[in-house]
């Protein structure tokens, strides 16, 4: 065992770590309420919590139901609220629709008249000019602006695409990071400010001046994998599992969620636990058939002539052999026939 670190030595060889992890997470999981109530706080964002969140992680959903980020700021500005506020303004996405007072559409003339809300503009610190300049980026749009009124003329071939273009105008992003409809400035106990966001866009936030690029946290596992890599995603899975459990008041040893994260990511991509992931890609035909979709696995095994080497636990319990876990791992090094040659000392 030379060269192994101390932690790995804490587990005896042949220990069924997977079953122990499953039981250690599963048993308190039975006590978790399926729909836990999240307190409707003013300065907190909605995130999935409790059992639904654990299911979300373990199923490896492409995107969480409520993605969110913690954005740490560079230490030079993190303590000055005004500077943090400026960063926040860069992050929260402002759409045309959110500064609109009213609008009218003229499909025949292919023009759209927007009337902007002055109060909303000032609160976001945007000028009507700025809005107009953004709208000009829409392909085929010619914009004329007069005070708070903006006229957009769009050249499209038919009426239907004109309609969709009108919707695009209202949906157009004026400023901020795309995919972040809401952001909040919050304060750490030591006085430093940080920003939490609803919606996740790590790459977008990283480009903003004042953001500490090395400390952006997102709960979107797949995005973390794309931006930071698989190791970061593994850590995220482990910590998100651990944190959701401890939030519900269950103390689980970190090694259990850690093992789950390892099994989900050790191939380099994120795999779900279950039929479409880890369990469905087991080597043994019997182990897969014992889990779900029995007939499918047997027919495929028949068609492709699969071989089952009977190495795993499930297969060996099925045929009635001693399983190679725990006490069953130990094998005699001397062969039976060789024993005959051994002579006892007189």
Partner 1 sequence: MGERKCYVYLDGRAIGFVEDGKKFAEEIRKNRRVGAISGEVNVAYRKGLNEIRINADRGRARRPYIIVENGASRYTEDLKEKLKSKEIDFNYLLRRGVIEYLDAEEEENAIVAINKDSITKATTHLEIDPAILFGLTFNVSVYPEHNSVGRHAISANFIKQSQGLYAINFNARYDARAFVLYYPQAPIADSVAYRKLNLSKHSSGQNFIVAVSTYYGYNMKDALVINKSAVDRGLGRSAFFRTYSDEERRYPGGQQDRFKVPAATTEGYLGEHAYSKLSDDGIIEQETPVAEGDVLIGKVSPPRFLEEQTSFGVVEERSRDNSVTLRAGEEGVIDNVMLTETTGATKLVKTRVRSVKVPEVGDKFASRHGQKGVVALIVNQADMPFTKDGIIPDLLLNPHSLPGRMTFGHMIETIAGKAGALSGTHFDGTAFSVNGKERVDMYGSILEKYGYDKFGDEVLYDGRTGKQFNAKIFTGVVYFNRLWHMVSLKLQVRSRGPVQILTHQPTEGKPRRGGLKFGEMERDALVGHGASLLLKDRMLEQSDKADIWICKDCGDVGYFDFVKNVPVCSNDGGNNLEKVEISYAFKLLLDEVKSMHILPRIKLKSE
Contacts (CB under 8 A) with partner 1, residues 80-139 = none
| CB closer to partner 1 out of 39 and 295 | 295
Kindly give the residue spans of alpha helices, DSSP state H, lying in 112-229.
118-124, 128-135, 159-171, 202-206, 221-228
Return the number of the residue (112 or 260) whose C-beta is nearest partner 1: 260
d(CA 275, CA 260): 16
Q: Which of 9, 23, 127, 213 binds partner 1 (CB under 8 A)?
A: 23
Q: Does 326 bind partner 1 (CB under 8 A)?
A: yes
Closest approach of Cβ 324 to partner 1, in Å? 8
Nearer to partner 1, 53 or 297 (CB): 297
Q: How far is the CB of 17 from partner 1 (least distance, A)?
A: 9
333 sits near partner 1 (criterion: CB under 8 A): no
Angle at 327 between CA 318 and CA 23, to 5 degrees: 70
Spatial distance between the Cα atoms of 13 and 326, rounded to a whole number of angstroms: 7
The verdict on 279 binding partner 1 (CB under 8 A) reads no
Question: How does DSSP classify residue 106?
Answer: E
**Where are the extended beta strands (E) located within the chain?**
68-73, 94-95, 100-106, 111-116, 141-146, 149-154, 173-175, 182-187, 193-198, 211-218
**Contact between 227 and partner 1 (CB under 8 A)?**
no
| By CB under 8 A, residue 320 contacts partner 1 | yes
* DSSP structure class, residue 96: G
Contact by Cβ (8 Å): 257, 29: no
User: Could you say whether residue 322 binds partner 1 (CB under 8 A)?
Assistant: yes
Q: Give me the 291-310 binding string for partner 1, x by CB under 8 A, dash otherwise.
A: ----x--xx-xx--------
* Binder of partner 1 out of 15, 136, 171, 188 (CB under 8 A): 15
Strands (DSSP E) contained in 168-324 are: 173-175, 182-187, 193-198, 211-218
Question: Closest separation between CB of residue 22 and partner 1, Å?
Answer: 8
Locate tokens 């709208």: which residue?
Answer: 135
List residues near partner 1 by CB under 8 A: 14-16, 19-20, 22-23, 295, 298-299, 301-302, 313, 317-329
């Amino acid at each position: 065992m030379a060269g192994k670190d101390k932690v790995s030595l804490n587990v005896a060889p042949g220990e069924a770590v997977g079953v122990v992890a499953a039981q250690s997470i599963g048993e308190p999981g039975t006590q978790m309420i399926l729909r836990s109530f999240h307190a409707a706080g003013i300065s907190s964002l909605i995130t999935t919590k409790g059992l639904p969140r654990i299911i979300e992680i373990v199923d490896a959903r492409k995107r969480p139901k409520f993605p969110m980020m913690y954005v740490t700021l560079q230490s030079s500005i993190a303590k000055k609220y005004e500077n943090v506020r400026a960063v926040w303004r860069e992050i929260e996405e402002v759409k045309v629709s959110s500064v609109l007072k009213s609008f009218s559409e003229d499909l025949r003339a292919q023009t759209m008249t927007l009337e902007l809300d002055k109060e909303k503009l000032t609160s976001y610190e945007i000028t009507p000019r700025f809005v107009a300049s953004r709208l000009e980026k829409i392909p085929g749009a010619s914009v004329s602006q007069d005070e708070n009124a903006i006229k957009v003329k769009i050249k499209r071939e038919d009426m239907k695409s004109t309609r969709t273009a009108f919707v695009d105008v209202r949906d157009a992003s004026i400023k901020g990071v795309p995919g972040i409809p809401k952001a909040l400035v919050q304060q750490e106990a030591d006085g430093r400010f940080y920003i939490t966001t609803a919606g996740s866009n790590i790459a977008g936030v990283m480009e903003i001046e004042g953001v500490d690029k090395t400390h952006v946290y997102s709960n979107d596992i797949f995005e973390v994998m794309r931006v930071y890599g698989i190791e970061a995603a593994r850590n995220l899975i482990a910590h998100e599992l651990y944190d959701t459990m401890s939030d519900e008041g269950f103390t689980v040893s970190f090694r259990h969620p850690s093992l789950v994260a390892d099994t989900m990511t050790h191939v380099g991509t994120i795999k779900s636990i279950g039929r479409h992931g880890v369990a469905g890609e087991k080597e043994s035909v019997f182990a897969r058939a014992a889990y779900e979709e029995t007939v499918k696995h047997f027919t495929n095994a028949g068609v492709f002539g699969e071989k089952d080497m009977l190495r795993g636990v499930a297969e060996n319990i099925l045929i009635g052999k001693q399983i190679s876990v725990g006490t069953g791992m130990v094998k005699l090094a001397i062969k039976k026939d060789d024993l005959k040659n051994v002579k006892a000392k007189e």
